[in-house]
Amino acid sequence: MSDAPLYDVAEGPAGGRGFWLTAADGVRLRVGLWTHDGAQGTVLLLPGRTEYVEKYGRAAGDLRARGFATLVIDWRGQGLAERALDDPMGGHVTDFAEYQLDFDEMVSFARAQGLPEPYYLMAHSMGGCIGLRSLIRGAPVKAAAFSAPMWGILIAAWMRPMAVALTTASRWFKFDDRYAPGTGAKTYVLTAPFTGNSLTTDAEMWDYMRRQALAHPELSLGGPSLGWLKAALTECHALTLLPSPKVPTITALGAQEKIVDTAPIHARMAIWPDGRLDIYPGSEHEVLMERAASRSRFFDTSTALYLKHR
């Protein structure tokens, strides 16, 4: 463990620090930590695909205002963590079990640093997929809050068999490092216009993400590889076969969600013991990057759940 960069574009609370970690398989990771005296617990914040520590600086401020420390991770292959491909813009893993090594190292760091307990989970999109698996494995958290969790990949039904065939062939014939169809090396927030984007309806938060990508392009990521897509399809299917863990949970889903498949979210939350699904009218994929009212609602309900389970 050693100090790592934590860029000012995060706009997080004062005193934030970055650290390098090394996963059990030798991959270098980065975490960002915002803590303070008197914190009532620590939120382990799990970002989505393409994301990075700095994107959640403002979220750390929202959590601090409600009495919590925040620890955020750069998953392998994104942010400043070690990337698997020669093309740094290609997001790639061969198995989602690799992300569990990252999560385990994150928890080990939290314990080694003596971060305020209890620990709680907050997970967005791909982080929600990783987080669900972590909860099933017995993650040491008292409660969890999900935002648009990737419990299913949004692919048209008629295209799904072709996607499975293509990604399987890519593994067999050694081209699984290539970009998935329709994706490439460009980062979404620098190529898509704000009008009609699928992430947020808040122009200021859109600009926040764009400023970060422009100031530090090394944080950005392009499309997923065929290998990542194969691994994601496999993991999402595997999770559907497993019961929900007995962890109090709240899940937020924007009514205008267009990134993840919403059917598995509705199905799982309908039967999750001590779980609740909240729909956010007018919101897109990133509730944590939405308009102030939606953001406040999410952080208020999440931290209320945390405080209920200490």
Domains of the chain plus CATH, in order, are 2-308 (3.40.50.1820)
74's tokens: 């750069």
Q: How confident is the model at residue 208 (pLDDT cuts 50, 70, 90)?
A: very high
**pLDDT band at residue 154, thresholds of 50, 70 and 90?**
confident
Q: How far apart are CA 266 and CA 232, in angstroms?
A: 19
Measure the CA–CA gap between 123 and 302, rounded to whole angstroms.
11
Compute the average pLDDT of residues 120-141. Answer: 98
Residues above pLDDT 90, as percent of the chain:
92
When computed from its CA atoms, the radius of gyration of the chain, rounded to whole angstroms, is: 18
Residues with Cβ < 8 Å from 129, sequence gap 6 or more? 96, 149, 150, 151, 232, 235, 236, 239
Is 80 exceeded by the pLDDT of residue 249? yes
Structure confidence by residue, pLDDT tens digits, 65-115: 999 999 999 999 999 999 999 999 999 999 999 999 999 999 999 999 999
Q: Tell which wins on pLDDT, 32 or 172.
A: 32
Mean of pLDDT values over 180-203 = 96
| Residue 282: CA count within 13 A, CB half-sphere | 8
Q: Is the pTM of this model over 0.85?
A: yes
Tens digit of each residue's pLDDT (9 = 90 or more) over 286-307? 999 999 999 999 999 999 999 9
Angle at 89 between CA 200 and CA 105, to 5 degrees: 85
Query: Cα–Cα distance between 258 and 300 in angstroms, integer?
Result: 25
- Mean pLDDT value across the chain: 96
